[in-house]
Amino acid sequence: MREVVVLGVGMTRFGKHPDKGLKELGTEAIWNAVEDANIPPKDIPIIYVANAMGQQLTELRGTIAQHVVSHAGFMGMPVINVENACSGGSTALRSCILEVASGNYDVAMAVGVEKMCIADTARSAAAMAFGTILGKFGFMFVGLYAMNLRRLMEKYGLTREHFAKVVVKNTKNGALNPYAQFRQPRTMEEILNSRVVSDPLTLLMCSTMADGGAAAIVTTRDKAAKYSSKTPITIAACELVSGTPTSADAVHVPIETRASRQAYEKAGVGPEDIDVVECHDAMAPAELLIYEELGLCGEGEAGRWIDEGKTEINGVVAVNPSGGLASKGHPVSATGLAQISEIVWQLRGEAGERQVPNAKIGMTENAGGWVMDDNAACAITILKK
């Protein structure tokens, strides 16, 4: 298989875009990526588009990819719609990597786009319901995260203050990100005193619905040099797994752990080599859980890590320098490719005020959906300068 690099990335600002639908959001992300890649559009021979909510929340009833890319001016080539809940963007990227790595095509474009901010917010919330028995009783993701966090509190003595510190860090980072939905740094007091959504989670700890699009164009190292003078970013691994059942008698390996172990092995690196991580903190405090699941810190060390600022932009490993989902907003299928965009900018040294010093290896963790008793999907991507 050939080595694949990211040639260009692009995204829209995440947030409420009352004047833009899926086509407009997708087009903006696509053309930002095309411009960043400095590639003639005719050299893009295949496109994957991830979308999760369009059928339920917009007028488009299928082949949303084709509606979006034809609006952006792309027609005729193979166009494939993928969905994997919040992991959709990474899933589209994984497919593009395979197209190029295999030699099937020299270039491929992955797009993730979502329109969630509609007049009736309850419809958007319902569209994210699980499709499980639990979902019927109103048990949604925020409740699931809350239960996991309560477990952490009991097991490792983590406190609400630890959780709030994650949000302090991420909103500080997000304030420096022009693509973020929320750009106001928050204090411990504001976070802890905001309305409880599902104890221990308060409003400012939770990510929000957002409209947005993100895109990435991949190619081979040789071709990259032909198009762009920017540093090509090597995709060292992009591993996708689905959930596994739990049983009372067996140790359940978290989906993030399984995916990241595969990715570390494929990339030939370990967690200690990672300089910057964009992780799927749909509820910001879940970052602490993810530190462990990705092997960044040892068991029970997450609280100390956030206390000691190890995941700050200038820390041991910067986590969510973009501000994470709680600052950026979370337009389901666009999130994974926004994470990729951020890591590419960080590794190129283009992240401006939120630049992680000397970042050479970056990682994204992008999990989504819920089936039986685990996430439906998790994708881990490791990128190298």
Return d(Cα 121, Cα 82) in angstroms, integer: 24
- Out of 27, 95, 311, 339, name the contact with a copy of itself by CB under 8 A: 95
CB closer to a copy of itself, 36 vs 256: 256
Annotated catalytic residue 330? yes
Does residue 254 contact residue 365 with C-beta atoms inside 8 Å? no
Q: What are phi and psi of 362, to 5 degrees?
A: -130, 165
The reply to whether 71 belongs to the active site is no
H/E element holding 179? Answer: none
Stretch that binds a copy of itself, among 89-97, 289-297, 308-316, 342-350 (CB under 8 A): 89-97
User: Applying CB under 8 A, does 123 fall inside the site for a copy of itself?
Assistant: no
Nearest distance from residue 204's CB to a copy of itself, in Å? 26
Which one from 17, 86, 206, 279 is the annotated catalytic residue? 86
Backbone angles phi, psi at 10, to 5 degrees: -165, 155
Alpha-carbon distance 384 to 359, whole Å? 9
Least spacing, CB of residue 370 vs a copy of itself, in Å: 8
- The alpha carbon of residue 143 and the mean position of all alpha carbons in its chain are separated, in whole angstroms, by 20
Element (H, E) at 111: strand 107-114
Chain center to CA of 185: 21
Distance CA(20)–CA(12), nearest Å, equals: 11
At 298, list the tokens.
């040892």
Among the listed ranges 71-79, 137-145, 228-236, 358-366, the one in contact with a copy of itself (CB under 8 A) is 71-79
Region 233-292 residues binding a copy of itself, contact defined as CB under 8 A: 240-245, 258
Tokens 């992008």 locate to 366
Catalytic residue, candidates 17, 162, 280, 330: 330
Closest CB to a copy of itself among residues 250, 358: 250
What's the closest the beta carbon of residue 99 comes to a copy of itself, in angstroms?
A: 7
* Token pair of 72 as six digits: 């952006």
67 part of the interface to a copy of itself, by CB under 8 A: yes
Q: Annotated catalytic sites, by residue?
A: 86, 330
Residues engaged in binding a copy of itself (CB under 8 A): 1, 52, 55-56, 58-64, 66-67, 69-70, 75-85, 91, 94-95, 98-99, 101-104, 126-131, 135-136, 240-245, 258, 368-372, 374, 376-377
